[in-house]
């Protein structure tokens, strides 16, 4: 007998069961979607800022771009510092293909890089070496290692080695380290531009938009008063003298006294500014500005200016130099060189022959006023040159004087000055008593009127006494030009005492003809041969530089000079 069709059969589902289950599943999905929608709403509203920043990291990139560093020019437009690209090598420690081979290569050729890698194995980026030499490049190329990558970086190139202590150099990141590069770093470097780039978050290669966030500025070129050709000629002359006398050091300065322009500034031995890793920092000093010395008898020019200004002596007054090398004045011993021995001579002759005994007797008349005049001439003060690290020097003040001090000061001891300060004194003489401020930057505005330090009558008297055309004996001469010069030989201090065998030889002077005026100061230190004087070492160098200078400036076209307030002198 067959069962009814609508009877319940175990294991089979009725339509009501299907409807119930479908309803349950439906509401489950509704519940889940509701939760998802609620979470999305919470994310959109409650965590909006967080996810916006996360998204920006994926497709928004901020890039800072520095402008090229501006060049440095000499007064004629020749480039003294320009840009070039250098190669550097780097690795990506987290993405190395052949770590053992890389470590072996680094251990052999770049051990410092291996040390950095061992110290930072999880770093994203490490330099192997920056500023690769040609040898380094050949080694890396020959290794065939895919893990070493090469990139280009900005750097500087300096065509003239002898300007190194003046121009300075930049560091590995192209920031100024010293000299003009440091003093004018912000001006030369400019300011960076910051861009915001929007890219494809997946590929990272396609950029949809570029927006400037911070607008940068280009670097401003710097023009110096130096004449690079004259700088080379002066450096050549100084090196020849150093080689001839086997000297330890040589310095030379050429200056236009009318406007304070420094045309050449040489410090030897120098360094190669393009070989950063081989630089001896001691050779980077611009010692003409940053070092002070006891200058010896060249200071007698300053004593003469003081004596004439105070009217304690006249050029024709007879001074008894006692015809000897050693004498006693007020119980103190005063020595003079054998070549300077004199009897009773006019003071002009005493100054020309540089006799210490006669000079000391005149200085005694000045007493403490000598100190006042040295300070008036700028010793113990900075000149105001636009160069970092200038030293002010020292003049022993009267309250610290011994019985010997007045005599020592009259012929160049107990007073320490820079060659730049000495050049400024000769500029005063060349300018009829007016001082000028030395500078290395070309002036873009009219010069201010300069202060008159001495009356013209006083400077004329000294200039006439020291004029080579009016003197006899061995003096610096340049045919067709007036040459006013004075030498000085000073013993150097070693271990707290003056060493008779270590000397500093100085010659300073003026070369002029009509409106043309130049001041030259040279200094040579520690020659091998003993018992020499500045007249044998420094004066020939002064003369050699003067000859090279006048020939060069006669042949060279003169750069346009904007007439300033002081040019009327």
Same domain, 258 and 372: yes
Among candidate residues 158, 180, 206, the one where a domain is terminated = 158
Task: Report if residue 503 sits inside a domain.
Answer: yes
Expressed as residue numbers, the domain containing 130 is 86-158
Please tell me the distance from the alpha carbon of residue 224 to that of residue 239, in angstroms, as a whole number.
Answer: 23
pLDDT tens sequence across 429-479: 999 999 999 999 997 655 555 789 999 999 999 999 998 655 655 677 888
Same domain, 67 and 113: no
Please tell me the distance from the alpha carbon of residue 255 to that of residue 423, in angstroms, as a whole number.
Answer: 8
Same domain, 184 and 311: no
Q: Which of 19-28, 261-270, 434-443 has the lowest mean pLDDT?
A: 19-28
Among candidate residues 110, 134, 158, the one where a domain is terminated = 158
- Smallest Cα–Cα separation from 292: which of 214, 202, 224, 383? 383
Same domain, 390 and 407: yes
Task: Report if residue 208 sits inside a domain.
Answer: yes
Task: Report if residue 20 sits inside a domain.
Answer: no
Residue 200 has pLDDT above 80, yes or no: no
CA dihedral sign of residues 183, 223, 164, 83: positive
DSSP letters, 309-336, are HTTS--TT-EEE-TTSSEEEETTEEEE-
Which is more confidently placed, 390 or 41? 390
Looking up tokens 């009725």, which residue turns up?
14
- φ and ψ at 120, to 5 degrees? -135, 65
Same domain, 124 and 202: no
Please tell me the distance from the alpha carbon of residue 365 to that of residue 313, in angstroms, as a whole number.
Answer: 9
What pLDDT was estimated at residue 548? Answer: 96
Task: Report if residue 25 sits inside a domain.
Answer: no
How do 222-223 and 318-320 pair as beta strands? unpaired
Same domain, 213 and 360: no
Same domain, 366 and 481: yes
What pLDDT was estimated at residue 34? Answer: 84
- Smallest Cα–Cα separation from 75: which of 567, 561, 424? 561
Task: Report if residue 298 sits inside a domain.
Answer: yes
Total domains, the chain: 3
Task: Report if residue 171 sits inside a domain.
Answer: yes
Task: Please tell me the pTM assigned to this model.
Answer: 0.81
In sequence order, which residues have a C-beta less than 8 Å from that of residue 150 and are 6 or more positions away?
87, 88, 89, 90, 132, 140
What pLDDT was estimated at residue 5? Answer: 46
Same domain, 73 and 98: no
Looking up residue 252, the CATH number of its domain turns out to be 3.40.710.10
* DSSP classification of residue 184: T
pLDDT tens sequence across 37-84: 877 777 666 666 666 665 555 555 565 667 889 999 999 999 999 998
pLDDT tens sequence across 69-128: 999 999 999 999 999 888 889 888 888 888 899 999 999 999 999 999 988 888 878 889
Task: Report if residue 172 sits inside a domain.
Answer: yes
Same domain, 92 and 183: no
Same domain, 206 and 252: no
Please tell me the distance from the alpha carbon of residue 525 to that of residue 242, in angstroms, as a whole number.
Answer: 9
Task: Report if residue 11 sits inside a domain.
Answer: no
Among candidate residues 194, 222, 250, the one where a domain is terminated = 222
Same domain, 150 and 217: no
Looking up residue 188, the CATH number of its domain turns out to be 3.90.1310.10
Same domain, 119 and 209: no
């Amino acid at each position: 007998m067959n069962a009814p069709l609508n009877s319940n059969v175990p294991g089979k589902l009725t339509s009501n069961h299907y409807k119930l289950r479908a309803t349950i599943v439906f509401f489950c999905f509704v519940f889940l979607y509701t939760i998802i929608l609620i979470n999305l709403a919470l994310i959109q509203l409650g965590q909006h800022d967080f996810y916006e920043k996360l998204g920006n990291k994926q497709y928004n990139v901020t890039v800072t771009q520095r402008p090229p560093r501006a060049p440095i020019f000499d007064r004629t437009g020749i480039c003294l510092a320009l840009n070039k690209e250098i190669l550097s090598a780097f690795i990506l420690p987290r993405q190395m293909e052949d770590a053992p081979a890389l470590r072996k290569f680094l251990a052999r050729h770049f051990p410092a890089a291996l040390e950095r890698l061992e110290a930072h194995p999880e770093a994203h980026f490490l330099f192997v070496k920056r500023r690769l030499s040609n040898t380094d490049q050949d080694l890396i190329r020959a290794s065939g290692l895919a893990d070493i990558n090469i990139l280009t970086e900005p750097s500087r190139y300096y065509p003239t080695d002898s300007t190194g202590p003046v121009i300075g150099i930049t560091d590995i990141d192209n920031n100024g380290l010293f000299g003009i590069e440091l003093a004018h770093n912000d001006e030369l470097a400019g300011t960076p531009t910051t861009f915001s780039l929007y890219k494809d978050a997946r590929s990272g290669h396609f950029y949809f938009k570029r927006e400037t966030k911070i607008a940068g500025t280009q670097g401003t070129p710097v023009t110096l008063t130096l004449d690079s050709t004259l700088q080379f000629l002066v450096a050549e002359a100084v090196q020849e003298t150093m080689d001839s006398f086997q000297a330890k050091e040589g310095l030379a300065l050429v200056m236009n006294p009318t406007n304070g322009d420094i045309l050449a500034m040489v410090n030897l031995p120098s360094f190669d500014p393009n070989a950063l890793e081989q630089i001896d920092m001691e050779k980077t000093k611009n010692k003409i500005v940053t070092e002070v010395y006891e200058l010896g008898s060249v200071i007698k020019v300053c004593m003469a200016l003081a004596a004439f200004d105070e009217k304690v002596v006249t050029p024709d007054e007879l001074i008894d130099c006692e015809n000897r090398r050693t004498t006693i004045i007020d119980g103190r011993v005063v020595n003079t060189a054998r070549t300077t021995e004199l009897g009773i001579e006019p003071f002009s002759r005493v100054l020309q022959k540089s006799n210490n005994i006669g000079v000391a007797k005149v200085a005694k008349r000045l007493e403490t006023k000598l100190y006042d005049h040295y300070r008036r001439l700028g010793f113990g003060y900075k000149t105001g040159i636009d160069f970092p690290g200038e030293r002010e020097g020292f003049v022993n003040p009267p309250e610290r004087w011994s019985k010997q001090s007045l005599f020592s000061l009259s012929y160049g001891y107990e007073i320490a000055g820079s060659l730049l300060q000495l050049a400024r004194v000769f500029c005063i003489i060349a300018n009829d008593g007016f001082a000028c401020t030395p500078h290395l930057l070309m002036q873009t505005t009219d010069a201010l009127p300069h202060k008159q330090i001495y009356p013209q009558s006083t400077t004329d008297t000294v200039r006439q006494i020291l004029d080579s055309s009016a003197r006899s004996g061995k003096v610096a001469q340049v045919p067709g030009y007036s040459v006013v010069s004075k030498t000085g030989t000073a013993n150097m201090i070693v271990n707290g005492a003056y060493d008779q065998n270590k000397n500093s030889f100085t010659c300073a002077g003026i070369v002029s003809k009509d409106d043309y005026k130049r001041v030259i100061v040279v200094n040579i230190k520690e020659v091998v041969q003993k018992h020499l004087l500045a007249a044998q070492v420094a004066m020939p160098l002064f003369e050699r530089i003067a000859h090279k200078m006048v020939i060069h400036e006669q042949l060279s076209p003169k750069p346009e000079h904007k007439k300033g307030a002081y040019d009327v002198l």
